[in-house]
Structure 1
Amino acid sequence: MSAVLDTPVAVRRTAMDLLARREHGRVELTRKLRQRGAPPELIDEALDRLTDEGLLSESRYLESFISYRARSGYGPMRIREELGQRGLQRSDIEQALRESGLNWQAQLTETWQRKFAGHLPADQRERAQQTRFLSYRGYPLEMIGRLLSGRGVDD
Protein backbone atom coordinates (compact mmCIF):
# COMPACT_ATOMS: atom_id res chain seq x y z
CA MET A 1 0.00 0.00 0.00
CA SER A 2 1.38 3.42 -0.90
CA ALA A 3 1.93 6.17 1.65
CA VAL A 4 -0.60 8.96 2.04
CA LEU A 5 0.95 12.25 0.95
CA ASP A 6 -1.04 14.65 3.10
CA THR A 7 1.76 16.17 5.18
CA PRO A 8 4.87 18.17 4.21
CA VAL A 9 7.06 15.43 5.71
CA ALA A 10 5.43 12.70 3.62
CA VAL A 11 5.72 14.73 0.42
CA ARG A 12 9.37 15.56 1.11
CA ARG A 13 10.20 11.93 1.93
CA THR A 14 8.58 10.71 -1.31
CA ALA A 15 10.37 13.41 -3.35
CA MET A 16 13.69 12.47 -1.77
CA ASP A 17 13.04 8.78 -2.46
CA LEU A 18 12.49 9.62 -6.13
CA LEU A 19 15.62 11.80 -6.23
CA ALA A 20 17.65 9.01 -4.60
CA ARG A 21 16.93 6.77 -7.60
CA ARG A 22 17.96 9.33 -10.22
CA GLU A 23 17.97 13.04 -11.00
CA HIS A 24 14.57 14.56 -11.81
CA GLY A 25 13.50 17.90 -13.20
CA ARG A 26 11.05 19.99 -11.20
CA VAL A 27 8.17 19.45 -13.67
CA GLU A 28 8.72 15.69 -13.75
CA LEU A 29 8.95 15.46 -9.96
CA THR A 30 5.79 17.56 -9.57
CA ARG A 31 3.93 15.24 -11.95
CA LYS A 32 5.05 12.12 -10.08
CA LEU A 33 4.06 13.57 -6.70
CA ARG A 34 0.65 14.61 -8.05
CA GLN A 35 0.11 11.09 -9.38
CA ARG A 36 0.77 9.83 -5.87
CA GLY A 37 -1.94 12.14 -4.50
CA ALA A 38 0.06 15.01 -3.03
CA PRO A 39 -1.70 18.40 -2.94
CA PRO A 40 -0.11 21.11 -5.15
CA GLU A 41 0.65 23.50 -2.27
CA LEU A 42 2.62 20.84 -0.40
CA ILE A 43 4.48 19.87 -3.57
CA ASP A 44 5.60 23.45 -4.29
CA GLU A 45 6.73 23.95 -0.70
CA ALA A 46 8.70 20.70 -0.63
CA LEU A 47 10.34 21.26 -4.02
CA ASP A 48 11.29 24.85 -3.15
CA ARG A 49 13.00 23.58 -0.01
CA LEU A 50 14.78 20.76 -1.88
CA THR A 51 15.99 23.28 -4.47
CA ASP A 52 17.27 25.63 -1.74
CA GLU A 53 19.13 22.72 -0.16
CA GLY A 54 20.69 21.75 -3.48
CA LEU A 55 18.99 18.35 -3.59
CA LEU A 56 16.88 19.25 -6.62
CA SER A 57 18.85 20.79 -9.47
CA GLU A 58 17.67 21.39 -13.04
CA SER A 59 21.25 21.75 -14.27
CA ARG A 60 22.28 18.40 -12.76
CA TYR A 61 19.18 16.81 -14.26
CA LEU A 62 19.98 18.23 -17.70
CA GLU A 63 23.59 17.07 -17.52
CA SER A 64 22.59 13.59 -16.38
CA PHE A 65 19.84 13.20 -18.98
CA ILE A 66 22.00 14.41 -21.88
CA SER A 67 24.85 12.13 -20.89
CA TYR A 68 22.58 9.10 -20.50
CA ARG A 69 20.75 9.59 -23.80
CA ALA A 70 23.98 10.31 -25.71
CA ARG A 71 25.53 7.11 -24.34
CA SER A 72 22.38 5.32 -25.54
CA GLY A 73 23.08 6.51 -29.10
CA TYR A 74 20.73 9.48 -29.38
CA GLY A 75 21.66 12.75 -31.03
CA PRO A 76 21.18 16.37 -30.05
CA MET A 77 17.91 16.93 -31.91
CA ARG A 78 16.16 13.97 -30.23
CA ILE A 79 17.55 14.86 -26.81
CA ARG A 80 16.44 18.49 -27.25
CA GLU A 81 12.91 17.36 -28.11
CA GLU A 82 12.67 14.91 -25.20
CA LEU A 83 13.82 17.55 -22.72
CA GLY A 84 11.32 20.03 -24.14
CA GLN A 85 8.55 17.49 -23.61
CA ARG A 86 9.65 17.20 -19.99
CA GLY A 87 8.86 20.87 -19.44
CA LEU A 88 12.36 22.32 -19.37
CA GLN A 89 13.12 25.78 -20.73
CA ARG A 90 14.51 25.80 -24.29
CA SER A 91 17.34 28.19 -23.30
CA ASP A 92 18.43 25.88 -20.46
CA ILE A 93 18.37 22.90 -22.82
CA GLU A 94 20.49 24.71 -25.42
CA GLN A 95 23.01 25.80 -22.81
CA ALA A 96 23.27 22.28 -21.38
CA LEU A 97 23.80 20.80 -24.86
CA ARG A 98 26.56 23.35 -25.57
CA GLU A 99 28.23 22.70 -22.21
CA SER A 100 27.96 18.92 -22.47
CA GLY A 101 31.29 18.73 -24.27
CA LEU A 102 30.04 15.88 -26.42
CA ASN A 103 31.46 15.32 -29.88
CA TRP A 104 28.22 14.65 -31.75
CA GLN A 105 30.02 13.53 -34.92
CA ALA A 106 31.87 10.88 -32.90
CA GLN A 107 28.60 9.86 -31.22
CA LEU A 108 26.97 9.57 -34.65
CA THR A 109 29.83 7.44 -35.97
CA GLU A 110 29.70 5.14 -32.95
CA THR A 111 25.92 4.70 -33.25
CA TRP A 112 26.22 4.02 -36.98
CA GLN A 113 29.00 1.47 -36.45
CA ARG A 114 27.01 -0.35 -33.76
CA LYS A 115 23.91 -0.57 -35.96
CA PHE A 116 25.42 -1.05 -39.42
CA ALA A 117 28.85 -2.55 -38.58
CA GLY A 118 30.55 0.37 -40.30
CA HIS A 119 29.36 -0.63 -43.79
CA LEU A 120 28.73 2.33 -46.07
CA PRO A 121 25.50 2.00 -48.04
CA ALA A 122 25.90 0.15 -51.35
CA ASP A 123 22.82 1.65 -53.00
CA GLN A 124 20.10 4.26 -52.53
CA ARG A 125 17.85 1.90 -50.61
CA GLU A 126 20.53 1.16 -48.01
CA ARG A 127 21.45 4.85 -47.84
CA ALA A 128 17.81 5.77 -47.19
CA GLN A 129 17.53 3.07 -44.52
CA GLN A 130 20.65 4.24 -42.69
CA THR A 131 19.64 7.89 -43.03
CA ARG A 132 16.16 7.20 -41.61
CA PHE A 133 17.58 5.33 -38.64
CA LEU A 134 20.17 7.98 -37.79
CA SER A 135 17.69 10.80 -38.33
CA TYR A 136 15.18 9.10 -36.04
CA ARG A 137 17.94 8.88 -33.44
CA GLY A 138 18.21 12.68 -33.59
CA TYR A 139 21.26 13.44 -35.68
CA PRO A 140 21.23 16.34 -38.19
CA LEU A 141 20.95 15.37 -41.86
CA GLU A 142 24.11 17.32 -42.69
CA MET A 143 26.16 15.18 -40.27
CA ILE A 144 24.52 11.99 -41.54
CA GLY A 145 25.24 12.94 -45.15
CA ARG A 146 28.87 13.61 -44.36
CA LEU A 147 29.21 10.26 -42.61
CA LEU A 148 27.45 8.21 -45.30
CA SER A 149 29.39 9.82 -48.11
CA GLY A 150 32.58 8.60 -46.50
CA ARG A 151 33.95 12.06 -45.74
CA GLY A 152 35.63 12.69 -42.43
CA VAL A 153 34.73 15.32 -39.88
CA ASP A 154 37.36 17.75 -41.18
CA ASP A 155 36.36 17.51 -44.87
Structure 2
Amino acid sequence: MSRNRDKSEDKPKRSAYDKALGLLARREHSRRELQLKLRQGGYVGDEASSALDRLGEQNYQDDDRFGEMLVRSRASQGYGPLRLRAELKSHGLSDARIRQLLDEADVDWVASAVTQLRRRYGAKAVTDPAERVRRAQFLLRRGFPAATVRDLTHAEVDELADESD
Protein backbone atom coordinates (compact mmCIF):
# COMPACT_ATOMS: atom_id res chain seq x y z
CA MET A 1 0.00 0.00 0.00
CA SER A 2 2.83 2.42 0.70
CA ARG A 3 3.71 2.38 -3.02
CA ASN A 4 0.37 4.03 -3.88
CA ARG A 5 0.92 6.92 -1.50
CA ASP A 6 0.54 10.40 -2.88
CA LYS A 7 4.02 11.77 -3.56
CA SER A 8 3.02 15.12 -2.06
CA GLU A 9 2.97 13.43 1.35
CA ASP A 10 6.73 12.89 1.08
CA LYS A 11 7.52 16.59 0.60
CA PRO A 12 7.34 19.10 3.40
CA LYS A 13 4.79 21.85 2.80
CA ARG A 14 6.31 25.02 1.32
CA SER A 15 6.06 28.19 3.36
CA ALA A 16 3.46 30.77 2.39
CA TYR A 17 6.30 33.09 1.42
CA ASP A 18 7.84 30.51 -0.93
CA LYS A 19 4.46 29.70 -2.47
CA ALA A 20 3.67 33.39 -3.09
CA LEU A 21 7.18 34.08 -4.41
CA GLY A 22 6.77 31.20 -6.85
CA LEU A 23 3.50 32.69 -8.09
CA LEU A 24 5.13 36.10 -8.51
CA ALA A 25 7.99 34.55 -10.46
CA ARG A 26 5.49 33.65 -13.19
CA ARG A 27 3.65 36.99 -13.40
CA GLU A 28 2.55 40.02 -11.38
CA HIS A 29 -0.26 39.43 -8.88
CA SER A 30 -2.26 41.81 -6.73
CA ARG A 31 -2.06 41.41 -2.97
CA ARG A 32 -5.72 40.32 -2.91
CA GLU A 33 -5.09 37.72 -5.61
CA LEU A 34 -2.10 36.28 -3.74
CA GLN A 35 -4.09 36.23 -0.51
CA LEU A 36 -6.84 34.22 -2.21
CA LYS A 37 -4.38 31.77 -3.77
CA LEU A 38 -2.61 31.26 -0.45
CA ARG A 39 -5.94 30.68 1.31
CA GLN A 40 -6.88 28.10 -1.35
CA GLY A 41 -3.50 26.44 -0.76
CA GLY A 42 -4.25 26.08 2.94
CA TYR A 43 -2.22 29.04 4.20
CA VAL A 44 -4.23 31.17 6.59
CA GLY A 45 -3.88 33.84 9.20
CA ASP A 46 -0.58 35.31 10.28
CA GLU A 47 1.64 33.16 8.06
CA ALA A 48 -0.07 34.38 4.87
CA SER A 49 -0.27 38.00 6.05
CA SER A 50 3.36 38.16 7.12
CA ALA A 51 4.46 36.53 3.86
CA LEU A 52 2.55 39.15 1.85
CA ASP A 53 3.92 41.97 4.02
CA ARG A 54 7.46 40.68 3.53
CA LEU A 55 7.01 40.41 -0.25
CA GLY A 56 5.71 43.99 -0.30
CA GLU A 57 8.64 45.27 1.77
CA GLN A 58 11.06 43.54 -0.61
CA ASN A 59 9.21 45.09 -3.56
CA TYR A 60 8.42 41.67 -5.04
CA GLN A 61 4.71 42.40 -4.81
CA ASP A 62 3.42 45.87 -5.60
CA ASP A 63 -0.22 46.67 -6.34
CA ASP A 64 0.78 49.83 -8.21
CA ARG A 65 3.07 47.90 -10.53
CA PHE A 66 0.41 45.21 -10.92
CA GLY A 67 -2.18 47.86 -11.85
CA GLU A 68 0.11 49.45 -14.43
CA MET A 69 0.81 46.06 -15.99
CA LEU A 70 -2.87 45.15 -16.08
CA VAL A 71 -3.89 48.43 -17.71
CA ARG A 72 -1.18 48.09 -20.37
CA SER A 73 -2.03 44.47 -21.05
CA ARG A 74 -5.82 44.81 -21.21
CA ALA A 75 -5.73 48.07 -23.18
CA SER A 76 -3.50 46.39 -25.78
CA GLN A 77 -6.05 43.56 -25.93
CA GLY A 78 -8.71 46.12 -26.87
CA TYR A 79 -10.62 46.45 -23.61
CA GLY A 80 -12.15 49.76 -22.59
CA PRO A 81 -11.75 51.82 -19.42
CA LEU A 82 -14.94 50.57 -17.75
CA ARG A 83 -13.83 46.96 -18.04
CA LEU A 84 -10.39 47.88 -16.72
CA ARG A 85 -11.90 49.79 -13.81
CA ALA A 86 -14.00 46.77 -12.82
CA GLU A 87 -11.05 44.38 -13.07
CA LEU A 88 -8.75 46.64 -11.06
CA LYS A 89 -11.47 47.06 -8.43
CA SER A 90 -11.81 43.27 -8.17
CA HIS A 91 -8.09 43.12 -7.36
CA GLY A 92 -8.52 45.48 -4.42
CA LEU A 93 -7.05 48.67 -5.83
CA SER A 94 -8.53 51.90 -4.48
CA ASP A 95 -10.83 54.07 -6.57
CA ALA A 96 -8.33 56.93 -6.44
CA ARG A 97 -5.49 54.70 -7.67
CA ILE A 98 -7.68 53.24 -10.42
CA ARG A 99 -8.60 56.74 -11.60
CA GLN A 100 -4.91 57.69 -11.61
CA LEU A 101 -3.89 54.57 -13.54
CA LEU A 102 -6.55 55.16 -16.20
CA ASP A 103 -5.68 58.87 -16.45
CA GLU A 104 -1.97 58.06 -16.84
CA ALA A 105 -2.60 55.34 -19.42
CA ASP A 106 -1.40 56.47 -22.81
CA VAL A 107 -4.48 55.13 -24.58
CA ASP A 108 -6.80 56.78 -27.07
CA TRP A 109 -9.98 54.98 -26.01
CA VAL A 110 -11.97 56.14 -29.04
CA ALA A 111 -9.29 54.89 -31.43
CA SER A 112 -9.17 51.62 -29.51
CA ALA A 113 -12.94 51.21 -29.85
CA VAL A 114 -12.75 51.95 -33.58
CA THR A 115 -9.97 49.38 -33.94
CA GLN A 116 -12.07 46.76 -32.14
CA LEU A 117 -15.07 47.48 -34.34
CA ARG A 118 -13.01 47.19 -37.50
CA ARG A 119 -11.25 44.04 -36.32
CA ARG A 120 -14.56 42.38 -35.51
CA TYR A 121 -16.84 43.71 -38.26
CA GLY A 122 -14.63 45.22 -40.95
CA ALA A 123 -14.87 48.78 -42.28
CA LYS A 124 -18.20 48.37 -44.05
CA ALA A 125 -20.83 50.96 -43.10
CA VAL A 126 -24.05 49.70 -41.51
CA THR A 127 -27.63 50.59 -42.42
CA ASP A 128 -29.45 47.90 -40.45
CA PRO A 129 -30.49 49.17 -36.99
CA ALA A 130 -30.22 45.65 -35.53
CA GLU A 131 -26.61 45.42 -36.74
CA ARG A 132 -25.82 48.81 -35.18
CA VAL A 133 -27.23 47.51 -31.89
CA ARG A 134 -25.09 44.36 -32.14
CA ARG A 135 -22.00 46.47 -32.68
CA ALA A 136 -22.89 48.77 -29.80
CA GLN A 137 -23.42 45.78 -27.48
CA PHE A 138 -20.04 44.40 -28.53
CA LEU A 139 -18.28 47.63 -27.56
CA LEU A 140 -20.22 47.90 -24.30
CA ARG A 141 -19.20 44.35 -23.34
CA ARG A 142 -15.57 45.27 -23.99
CA GLY A 143 -15.92 48.11 -21.51
CA PHE A 144 -16.21 51.26 -23.57
CA PRO A 145 -18.38 54.13 -22.25
CA ALA A 146 -21.90 54.48 -23.63
CA ALA A 147 -21.17 57.96 -25.04
CA THR A 148 -18.21 56.62 -27.04
CA VAL A 149 -20.25 53.65 -28.26
CA ARG A 150 -23.16 55.89 -29.24
CA ASP A 151 -20.84 58.26 -31.11
CA LEU A 152 -19.13 55.45 -32.99
CA THR A 153 -22.19 53.50 -33.96
CA HIS A 154 -23.89 56.71 -35.14
CA ALA A 155 -20.69 57.84 -36.85
CA GLU A 156 -20.89 54.86 -39.18
CA VAL A 157 -24.46 55.86 -40.08
CA ASP A 158 -23.40 59.47 -40.66
CA GLU A 159 -20.57 58.33 -42.93
CA LEU A 160 -23.09 56.36 -45.00
CA ALA A 161 -25.31 59.44 -45.30
CA ASP A 162 -22.30 61.49 -46.44
CA GLU A 163 -21.49 58.89 -49.12
CA SER A 164 -25.01 58.99 -50.58
CA ASP A 165 -25.01 62.81 -51.02
What band does the TM-score fall into relative to the shorter chain?
0.7 to 0.9
Q: Which of the pair is proportionally richer in helix?
A: 2
Aligned-partner residue type, residue 121 of structure 1: V
- With 124-133 and 137-146 compared, the bigger mean Cα shift is at 137-146
Deviation at 1:149, TM superposition (A): 2.5
Structure 1, unpaired ranges of 5+: none
2:146 aligned to which of 127, 132, 141:
141
For 1:75 and 1:65, the matched residues in 2 are separated by 12
| Cα displacement (A) at 1:45 | 0.8
Distance 2:13 2:77 in 1: 36
Distance 2:155 2:125 in 1: 7
Residue 123 in structure 1 maps to residue 132 in structure 2: no
Report SS of the residue matched to 2:107.
coil
One-letter code aligned to 2:125: L
Q: Tell me the equivalent position of 1:4.
A: 13
SS at match of 1:149: helix
The 1:150–1:58 alpha-carbon spacing in structure 2 relative to 1, beyond 3 Å, is: same
Question: Counterpart amino acid of 1:101?
Answer: D
**TM-score w.r.t. length of structure 1:** 0.88
Runs of 4 or more off by more than 4 Å in structure 1? none
Counterpart Cα distance in 2 of 1:120 and 1:82: 32
Aligned residues of 1:11 and 1:43 also touching (Cα < 8 A): yes
TM (normalized to structure 2)? 0.83
Question: Which letter does structure 2 place at the counterpart of 1:149?
Answer: H
RMSD: 1.6
The corresponding residue for 1:55 is 60
Q: Give the aligned length.
A: 147
One-letter code of the match for 1:22?
Answer: R
Is there any run of 5+ residues in structure 2 with no aligned partner, and where?
Answer: 1-7, 157-165
Q: Which has the larger radius of gyration?
A: 2
Q: 1:104 aligns with which of 104, 109, 114?
A: 109
- Between the aligned residues of both structures, percent identity stands at 35
Paired position in structure 2 for 1:81: 86
